[in-house]
Structure 1
Amino acid sequence: MKVVIILACVAATVFAAPGNNGSWRIVGGDGDAGTAPHTSPYQVSLSINGAHTCSGSILDDSTILTAAHCVVGFCDEGSDPTLIKIAAGKNKLSELVYNNKGKSVICHEDYDSWDIKNDIAIIKLETALTLTADIQAVQLPRTDIINEEVTFYGWGTTDNSSILSDALKYITMKTISVKDCIDKMPDKVGPTEVCAIAGTGKGACHGDAGGPLLASDGTVIGIVSWGIPCAEGYPDVFTRVYSFLDWIEENRN
């Protein structure tokens, strides 16, 4: 069963359901970013209804890159993007201040909420961010990445209580080819997605969605999208940023 990696209490009835065992597996991070400065300065927290829902990455001082399934309800005409609040510059959720609002939201026109394809969106901010050592714009990839070590950071759930991690966690993974991913996954994986795996007990989970998957050079090669289910030994699936470079350039301004 395909499970979108989003905070369960926010969107489980729409996008996701727990596995047959009724639990969400622990996310076994390689480390705790804690309060260390400049750990993931590209990362923001998105809050809807007063709580962290997803992550995103900073493209520039007024543009956030995230997963479409995190914000799909705000892409339609007549929706209110100011209900999305953004916070940046801190590694602990408890220290984040959601002092910026969405001005507009653009979801990929071919986003498929059933198969979770083209899971990419851009949020334009009401007020530009002030870029500092702790708040920085991420670089987009120039080449595709396969069979390389990658890292992602997140505040997602770390045990089956569905309680978010206050401290930013990180996991080191390795990307695999689409063919290898298809062989390992019971659900469809396409060429515009990238898979990464860290082994059983390690992986993305609810609350990690929309966050950046970073190559060793710091470029954002993926957007946390979905998994089957959290940390069960299957690859995690990310939107392949390299496949959407033209779309990003067309919609970021």
Structure 2
Amino acid sequence: MREEAVLDATVQVINLPTNYCDAGQLATVLGWGYLKDKSGATSEWLQKAPVLTLSNEDCLQRLPYPIAQDHICGWYGEGVGFCDGDSGGPLLLNGEIVGVVSMGYDCGSGLPDIYTRVYSYLPWIKRVIRKTNKHTKAFDYLRGWISNQNPPSAIRLKLLLLSLIGKIILLERVMLHLAR
């Protein structure tokens, strides 16, 4: 991104997952894709749908193709799920992005949908964030390494999520304004 994102009603911060997303969780998928399979019409409004996470073992019994451990399998019923154009969109659970829309069979076909499990990529995401962050003092503060005698006056954390065909690049910008 060439300029800093401004937080408002349409741009919000999302947290990275703090735990592995287990089966039996009720999550939400968001997307701007097609409303029906091959309908030719995408939504003018951001759409959301409920998703019940399934175990990978249960998913393997329902799908005609295999999935990996770094996937989350989700299903809610026939007529519910993501569609073409939703790739790269978030799967949200308790204010965290636990998955990214990856692949499915047909829109709302009754077969489970597959999401990339963000938790599986946390070490890589954190490495990229550390390498790309120019404000190391801010990370030191967040880790509790800066004493209360030298606190920053404001810390703004922003997680910018860019999606491209089912793959995401996460950039975290930390802006530190020291008291003068």
Please state which band the TM-score falls in when normalised by the shorter chain.
Answer: 0.5 to 0.7
Tell me, what secondary structure is at the counterpart of 1:180?
helix
Deviation of 1:251 after TM superposition, in Å, equals 1.9
Counterpart of 1:239? 116
Equivalent positions of 1:180-219 (< 5 A) are 180-215=58-93, 217-219=94-96
Deviations 1:65-117 (A, max 9, x none): xxxxxxxxxxxxxxxxxxxxxxxxxxxxxxxxxxxxxxxxxxxxxxxxxxxxx
Q: Distance in 1 between matches of 2:91 and 2:107?
A: 16
- Pick from 122, 131, 136: which aligns with 2:7? 131
Deviation of 1:192 after TM superposition, in Å, equals 0.2
Counterpart of 1:148? 25
Counterpart residue type for residue 208 of structure 1: D
Counterpart residue type for residue 126 of structure 1: R
Deviation of 1:133 after TM superposition, in Å, equals 4.2
Tell me, what secondary structure is at the counterpart of 2:121?
helix
Equivalent positions of 1:49-88 (< 5 A) are none
Deviation of 1:134 after TM superposition, in Å, equals 3.2
Counterpart of 2:101? 224
Deviation of 1:135 after TM superposition, in Å, equals 1.6
Q: Distance in 1 between matches of 2:43 and 2:10?
A: 20
Deviations 1:133-173 (A, max 9, x none): 43222101111112110001111111232210111111011
Deviations 1:12-42 (A, max 9, x none): xxxxxxxxxxxxxxxxxxxxxxxxxxxxxxx
Counterpart residue type for residue 207 of structure 1: G
More moved, 133-142 vs 230-239: 133-142
Q: Distance in 2 between matches of 1:162 and 1:134?
A: 25
Counterpart residue type for residue 13 of structure 2: A
Task: Say yes or no: does 1:249 pair with 2:126.
Answer: yes
Equivalent positions of 1:83-98 (< 5 A) are none
Scaled by the length of structure 1, the TM-score of the pair is 0.49
Structure 1 gap ranges (5+): 1-124
More moved, 127-136 vs 145-154: 127-136
Counterpart residue type for residue 137 of structure 1: V
Computing the radius of gyration from Cα coordinates, the structure with the larger value is 2
Q: Distance in 2 between matches of 1:204 and 1:195?
A: 12
Q: Distance in 2 between matches of 1:249 and 1:132?
A: 26
Q: Distance in 2 between matches of 1:132 and 1:229?
A: 34
Scaled by the length of structure 2, the TM-score of the pair is 0.68
Tell me, what secondary structure is at the counterpart of 2:126?
helix
Q: Distance in 2 between matches of 1:233 and 1:169?
A: 18
Tell me, what secondary structure is at the counterpart of 1:162?
coil
Q: Distance in 2 between matches of 1:205 and 1:188?
A: 20
Q: Work out which structure has the larger RCO, using CA pairs closer than 8 Å and 6 or more positions apart in sequence.
A: 1
